[in-house]
Each structure stands twice: as structure tokens, then as C-alpha cells.
Amino acid sequence: HTMKFTNKPEGLCDTPEPLLSSLDIFLFSLIAGLLIYWFFFRKKTEPVPEIKPFTPVTPQIRETSFIEKMKKTNRNIVVFYGSQTGTAEEFANRLAKDAQRYGMKGMAADPEEYDLSELSRLKEIPNSMAVFCMATYGEGDPTDNAQEFYDWMQGTDDDLEGVNFAVFGLGNKTYERFNATGKYTDKRLAELGGKRVFDLGLGDDDINLEEDFISWKEQFWPAVCEFFGVEATGEDSSIRQFELVVHNDINMNQVYTGEMGRLKSFQTQKPPFDSKNPFLATVTGNRKLNKGGNRHLMHIELDITDSKIRYDSGDHVAVYPTNDAAVVNGIGERLGVDLDTVISLKNLDEESNKKHPFPCPTTYRTALTHYLDINNMPRTNVLYELAQYASDPKEQENMRKMASASPEGKALYQSWVLDSERNILAILEDLPSLNPPIDHLCELLPRLQARYYSIASSSKVYPTSIHICAVVIEYTTKTERVFKGVATNWLKNKEVTDNGHKLTVPMYVRRSQFRLPFKPSNPIIMIGPGTGIAPFMGFIRERAWQKEQGKEAGETILYFGCRHKNEDFLYQQELEEFERAGVLTQLNVAFSRDQEHKIYVQHLLKKNKQLWKLIHSNNAHIYVCGDARNMARDVHTAFYEIAEEVGGLTHTQAVDYFKKLMTKGRYSQDVWS
């Protein structure tokens, strides 16, 4: 404070020194007095924050220990799941439930909620084992909720001798690193001294994940029984996990209306926004991109002003869609239920961390609209549990058969459910004697998941707007029903209105590894047919922005593919303008159906002999976005051929060369199947 007064005001020039120091003392006393007053006053009126941080400590210590929880609740099997879209979690719940048939007690557990470094203590529980249902996400990564466990496995040297385990991996053959997380978990736990009770299961979602799981489970349980010397109890009856509570007299302010986490979070929005707390973004743009053809390709713009959400080109936007009201009403009518009944499904296991299968209390209508997946084909366990409600013995027998591991049962499930694409409403319509209580149906259906889209904008150009490019999914199935993709049809109807009523989309951003090179001067080669163009629109706009900033942008090469030039050449005008402006060095477009023989992006790639120099000598980054099943594989092959032909490598060397580029982050894929 003395500092402030050394430059004295004019009127005080000749004031004797002592007065100044007494002024200092006065100021110090005043501030000290205010601080003391504020401290005590704040303490008196607001005792809550003072106590708050200390209350959760005790339960937290207890809760993060899955060992203590197992001992307390008398369980000997724990099933951990690494899940991104809910399937691994569903499988884990099924295994935990199955344990009862063998006189054991199981619990499903999210590795994020527990301290996995306690794994070596599992041997303190007699006849115990840990099962891991591990999904692989993206290019061989663990799922978000299994990341910490994965990091722990990589860094630990704990001795797991005496710890029994088994792993079932969920993956997809179309991806380069098939089932990498499941394979690593299985290998690492054995390296640390764990005892593998049963062989690693490798589920392939490209063909039939459900069938792979059933086949694995069918052999897994006999192996467990043999290992522990137990026998099946013969109890095949369906065991309810949740009990129904009907709320006749409830304040509607306490009822969930579609929120993912906190009640009323859609009315009062509070950052930070994530999967449990999505932001309601206003739709500010919705236009059809294609000029013709029988498909509907759309460009949607979401406003994220005031959300504090940041994103980078290449990130994903996750949206929470709602189900088609016609299907929801169809289920209510078929089961003769008042969908506006307010209910809760309460876990019968008091100790479970999962009190409800979805946010409760809520109505059946809200659950079927916002929380449950009613559009996809139900898995076999749903058919098995519902079979008891079919009054026709033949229908009941067929439902049970479809859930069995017998070749005949598998074939029936494949043809009647999967190939015919019957969702739960179609099954109820085609099995007239099947009349399950709606609460049991709600307990069994999986959760409706967020849908991820590659962001088609650059945050440098559009910091408060996120763009989505997607194709509306709609076609007729074998049973002459119209199958409509949940999210794309819901988005298509989000028209921009000017009557003041703004339509919103619950969303959050998921970071990705799909990134422009750190140096703008590095060349980039982008390959994205169809809606795979999305992230590249962000990349190209960012390159244009870098040029405007006076940075030296490297070669920017795009390979885009569509069916017909005059129908679905997405973003044609913008791309041609970027090419004229010199932002796009090369715009290569494959029109697959404009001539007799089909031409795809990989055919154009093979023709370009200059690519090898860019990759091998100029540090170019390669990006592939779109269909994993055919396109991404064919593009790989095209690059191998270029390396062999121009670079003089053998096939093995070429494969190895591009594997190394992937490891270095110079060959990135954002693909889906």
C-alpha cells in the first residue's frame, strides 16, 4: 500500500511523514478488520461449504474397493466391462446374472468406478474370479471408461498369482487392430501371473457379435464349473433385476423427461457439458446437399454459443436422438398400456451402484422415447426372458430356441430376427400370443446410445458452430416394413423455424486423434467418399484460414467419391472454389456410376505416382474417412501397390512401412462399418 502513496497527491506535498504512516496503519487495520469480519461472517452464514468437502470421504474409500464390496455382499465373481456403446456392459450384466445358475454370486462393475490396482487381493475371496468384457474402440484403443485400467496394466508389476480370470473381447474384423484391447488384457493378466480359467473370446461385430458371445458363454460356464468343482443348480428361471414402483401421486417436477444425468438439466443448463450432461444446441442450418437421387444427404449446423464447448477439426460430435413416436405408440397400443404412467424400476440388489436401468422416476413414454433402444433387433437374452409370456407353446419354444447355442437356434435367430430386421415392435406384431408386462420389457431393452458424427467444420473459422454431414437411412426390409435410422431421421426433421420456437439437439464433443499436422507446411492426402468428406471440409477450411494468416500451407490433396456428378457431388461449389483459390492443390473426384465400369477413390489413388514422393520424402500425412468394410481396406491396398511400384518395396515391406506411419500418427483413420 505504501507503494501507491509514494507519488503523493499535490495537496499532501508538505505533509509530515508520521501522518503518512498513520494513514498506512489505518488502511492496514481497515483491511485486516474487513478480512476478519468477512471470514467470521462468511463462516456463520454459510457453514455448508466448510463441511461439504469432508463428508464424501468415508463412503468413497469404501466404494472404490470392489474387493470390500464383494466381501460385504458375499460375491465371488466380478465382471468388469470396457464399454463405449453399452454392448460390453450388457454382456457383463448377463454374465453376472448367469452366475446364479451355478450357485455363485456375480456383480457387473465399471472399471472407472473402482480401484483396479486391488486386483491382486481377489485371492482373499475363496473360489473367486474376475471376468473382463473388453470392447476395442477406434483404431485399437481402449474405451473411455477402461482407459485408467489399461494404463494401470501397462505400468504395473503387481503379482496376480492366485487371481483367476477370463476375457471376452468385443471387436470388428474390418478394423486394422481387431480386438486389440481384449487381446492385450488377456495377455497382460497372464504375464502378471493370473490364472486363465477359459480361453479368450473374440467377438466380431462385422458378422454377428451376439452369436460369438453365446458360443463363448456356452463353453465358458462348463469350464468355470469344472475349475471350481461346482454344478449347475438347474435354475433356468428368469430372475428379475428390478422391481416396478408405480407413482400415483407424484410432483411432476421430480419426474425425468429425457435428461441423461441431473434432473432438470435441460431447463437449467450448466457447463461443463459431457455425456451425462449434454448441451442443447440450437439448429441454425439444415439443408439437403444432393441435387438428385433417391437418398437424402444433409448438412446440419448446431449453435454452441455460451456453451464453453471447444473443438478441433477432426473431433466427433455426439448427439442423443429420440425414437420415432410411431414406434413408441405402437408398443403402447400392442401391449394395451397407458404410456403416461409414472414409474420407477428399482434395483432389487440394494448394494448395486446401478439403482435404476435408466433415469427414474419417469413415464413409460419417456423411457421408450429417450432411454431405450427400440429400433434395433433385440439380442437373444431378451427373447429368452420374454418367452415365458408367450401363451402359444410353439411361439414360446421358438423364442427359447433362438436364444440357444444350437446350430438350428442360431440359424433361426439369424434369419427371423437379423436378416428380417425385426425390432421389438415387429416381434410383438408377429408373435400374437406374446404379451409381456411392459416393465419387464423396459428392464430388458438396452439403453439408447449417443450417435457420433465427424465434425465437418473448423473451429478456427466457426468457433461457435458445429457442422454435421450425414445420410438419412431409410429402406424397406424383408418383412415389407420401412426401417428408419433413429438419429438421421430425427436430425432430418430438425427444420430451422422462424416462428421463434427453436429446435435443439442434446450434444457434446468427443476428442479424437484425427488431427491436422502440427506444421501447416506438411502436405496432407485426404481420402473420403460419400459422407466421409465431413472432417475434410473442416481440414480444408482450416488450411484456407492458415493461408489467410500468412502461414505457408503445404500441398492439400483430396480424393472424394460419389455416385453421379450431377446428383451427389457434396459441397461441389465450395470445393471448386477452394481449388480455384489454390487452397486445394488437387481435387480428385471418382464418380462411381457415371460410366459403365465403377470408378472408386482407390482407382484414382493408384494412378497418382507423385504420392510416393510426398509420403516418403515430404512427410505427408494421410487421412482416410468413411466405410471401414471395403473402402478403407481397398485404400490400404492401393497405397501398398504405390509403395511397391514407385518405391520399389516388397509387399511385406510396404505393409510394414504403412504400419509404421500409423504408429507415428501419419496415417489416420476415422472409419465406421
**Per the annotation, where are the binding residues?**
83-88, 135-138, 170-179, 205, 295, 451-454, 469-471, 475, 485-488, 531, 592-593, 598-602, 634, 672
Report the residue count for the chain.
673
* Residue 46 amino acid letter: E
Bridging pattern class, strands 504-510 and 524-527: unpaired
Question: How far is it, in rounded angstroms, from Cα 595 to Cα 474?
Answer: 26
* Cell numbers given for 596: 459403365
- Write down the residue that cell numbers 429417450 correspond to: 370
Residue ranges of the annotated binding site for FMN are 83-88, 135-138, 170-179, 205
Cβ atoms of residues 75 and 53 within 8 Å: no
Closest CA to 534 of 502, 512, 506: 512
Closest CA to 527 of 497, 552, 557, 506: 557
* Residue 638 amino acid letter: A
Residue ranges of the annotated binding site for FAD are 451-454, 469-471, 475, 485-488, 672
Cβ atoms of residues 642 and 635 within 8 Å: no
Beta bridge partners of 319: 451, 507
Cβ atoms of residues 134 and 170 within 8 Å: yes
Query: Does residue 454 have an active-site annotation?
Result: yes
Query: Does residue 490 have an active-site annotation?
Result: no
Cβ atoms of residues 529 and 590 within 8 Å: yes
* Residue 150 amino acid letter: Y
Which one is catalytic: 128, 307, 344, 454?
Answer: 454
Question: How far is it, in rounded angstroms, from Cα 216 to Cα 221?
Answer: 9
Closest CA to 322 of 139, 503, 550: 503
User: Which sign does the torsion angle of CA 177, 163, 405, 105 carry?
Assistant: negative
Q: Coil, helix or strand for 615?
A: helix
User: Which sign does the torsion angle of CA 578, 584, 588, 590 carry?
Assistant: negative
* Residue 427 amino acid letter: I
Closest CA to 520 of 498, 489, 497, 550: 550
Tell me whether residue 54 is exposed, middle or buried, using C-beta atoms within 10 angstroms of its C-beta: 0 to 12, 13 to 18, 19 or more. Answer: exposed
Closest CA to 563 of 314, 301, 299, 289: 289
Instruction: Check residue 583 and give left, alpha or beta (phi > 0: left; psi -120 to 50: alpha).
Output: alpha
What Å distances lie between residue 323 and 330, 419, 420, 589, CA to CA? Answer: 12, 22, 20, 36
Which one is catalytic: 274, 349, 404, 672?
Answer: 672
Question: How far is it, in rounded angstroms, from Cα 658 to Cα 617?
Answer: 14
Which one is catalytic: 128, 439, 625, 668?
Answer: 625
Which one is catalytic: 212, 439, 627, 670?
Answer: 670
Q: Coil, helix or strand for 93?
A: helix
Helix spans in 496-570 (H): 534-548, 565-568
Query: Does residue 672 have an active-site annotation?
Result: yes
**SS3 string of 250-300?**
CCHHHCCCCCCCCCCCCCCCCCCCECCECEEEEEEEEEECCCCCCCCEEEE
Q: Coil, helix or strand for 338?
A: coil
List, in order, residues 6 or more apart from 427 with CB less than 8 Å away: 378, 383, 417, 434
Question: How far is it, in rounded angstroms, from Cα 446 to Cα 82?
Answer: 16
Question: What's the farthest any 2 CA atoms get from each other in the chain?
Answer: 110
The one-character DSSP state at 447 is B
* Rg of the chain over all Cα atoms, to the nearest angstrom: 30
Q: Which residues are catalytic?
A: 454, 625, 670, 672
